[in-house]
Structure 1
């Protein structure tokens, strides 16, 4: 009735590729943070539903995104702010490792709160 879900996934992938290609570095960071926050919500849901393999996949994606955000920091131009962001991203990675091991929705919530604050800062810079 609604068509093949694979076709919709291909459309989403193409749309993301187009938006990514046209995005500024600032917009890319916001896109990464949005994806990261979405994946954190999924990770919490996987823990609550006891889908541990999928939880692991979600946590791994989150850590990969945090590592990408860290590696994209411009320490020359960003100075102290870049160093502080790197520290926060590293802290989030370690909390996610702990959350994954302890199956802690609360620890993922802590990371989510930190990243929402960072996201608000990035969005405020673009305004």
Structure 2
């Protein structure tokens, strides 16, 4: 097991901090979407291997990312696109909670599908 100070993780965190500092809002959303999809995979693995504490932390991270994406929406000026994204993020939040309660990796699949579609749409904007 690695000690509390892991130079590799410190390096990764420094690199991530540098990316975030230089990110445009478009880049930030892209990074959040990528991070969410990666964390969904981890959460599914934790569920499948019955690592309940790790699953809880992964679901918590996923919820934080979804709420972060939702908070970036401009519902007053974003029109139908912002409202549709808000509804998708709400669906994903509810689905994440349900998947966690049921301890069902299968219940994460719709979230992964929705967020993959959102990421593809976001990527095509660039």
TM-score (norm 2): 0.94
What residue number does 2:113 align with? 113
Distance 1:19 1:77 in 2: 28
Indicate whether 1:19 and 2:19 are aligned: yes
What residue number does 1:57 align with? 57
Of the structure 1 ranges 104-113 and 68-77, higher mean CA displacement relative to structure 2 is found in 68-77
Distance 2:111 2:103 in 1: 14
Deviations 1:34-73 (A, max 9, x none): 0000000000000000001100000000000000000011
Q: Which runs of 5+ in 2 are unaligned?
A: none
Deviations 1:71-110 (A, max 9, x none): 0112233211001100000100000100000011111011
What residue number does 1:48 align with? 48
**RMSD over aligned Cα, in angstroms?**
1.3
Distance 2:102 2:75 in 1: 33
2:77 aligns to what SS in structure 1? Answer: helix
Counterparts of 1:24-35 in structure 2 under 5 Å? 24-35=24-35
Runs (4+) of structure 1 moved beyond 3 Å? none
Of the structure 1 ranges 76-85 and 91-100, higher mean CA displacement relative to structure 2 is found in 76-85
Q: Which runs of 5+ in 1 are unaligned?
A: none
1:77 aligns to what SS in structure 2? Answer: coil
